[in-house]
Chains A and B, each alone.
Chain A
Amino acid sequence: LAKTTQPISMDSYEGQEVNITCSHNNIATNDYITWYQQFPSQGPRFIIQGYKTKVTNEVASLFIPADRKSSTLSLPRVSLSDTAVYYCLVGDEEYGNKLVFGAGTILRVKS
């Protein structure tokens, strides 16, 4: 299973762009990269997913270099409500690979 490494925590201020990078050096060919967000006292929720290059949705952007050994979640203009834990997952449940959650990155947004 591909192991992921993320920063333990990050601090930011409202209105700034936040980039969280995840390393996954042994990503497999059929693995997808998926990011989840977890607020205190809630379950994780899906944010964005990609396989290669760039993916953008209404919440975030995901940048994946050609070698796919890392990925960067970009949150534009964060607000206080973006304070949460962000998890990077690598795997593909379609092939029966269970998705493994790492320690995640605690993002603290300050005013």
Chain B
Amino acid sequence: DTAVSQTPKYLVTQMGNDKSIKCEQNLGHDTMYWYKQDSKKFLKIMFSYNNKELIINETVPNRFSPKSPDKAHLNLHINSLELGDSAVYFCASSQLGVRRNTIYFGEGSWLTVV
């Protein structure tokens, strides 16, 4: 079973569209994240939720809106997509208090905006 699963894996869309990426973890973790990896391979944290509450919100355009319906899910909705949003988006999870700094990543969602 996949511990952290995200869909879709590949997404090609036009500028101006709105899209969502879904993420689910079956590890029972209380913290979930969204990371963005750009073309230069830098991996940057975007958001972090702990028990459905936002705890980290990096300098991300407000076109990006995370939604956590429960602690096993953290979806990412992106409005008015721009060319610069093209990247790989990774969902991840961890359990605070257990095995410090151990973050489990999903396989990634490749977003291409044309």
Q: Spell out A's residues near B (CB within 8 Å).
A: 32, 34, 36, 41-46, 49, 85, 87, 89, 91-94, 96, 98-101, 103-104
Known interface pairs A42-B108, A43-B107; A96-B90 also in contact (CB < 8 Å): no
Instruction: List 11 additional A-B contacts (Cβ < 8 Å) besides A93-B96, A104-B43.
Output: A43-B105, A43-B106, A44-B43, A92-B100, A94-B97, A98-B48, A98-B56, A98-B58, A99-B103, A100-B45, A101-B43
* Chain B residues proximal to chain A, CB less than 8 Å: 4, 31, 35, 40-45, 48, 55-56, 58, 90, 92, 94, 96-97, 99-108
A93 touches B100 (CB 8 A): yes
Q: How far is the CB of A29 from chain B (nearest CB, A)?
A: 14
Residues of chain B contacted by A98 (CB below 8 angstroms): 45, 48, 56, 58
Measured CA separation A42–B42 after assembly (Å):
14
Residues of A within 8 A of B97 (CB): 94
Cα distance A23–B55 in the bound complex, in angstroms: 28
Residue in chain A with minimal CB distance to B94 = A93
In the complex, chain A residues whose CB is within 8 Å of the CB of B58: 98
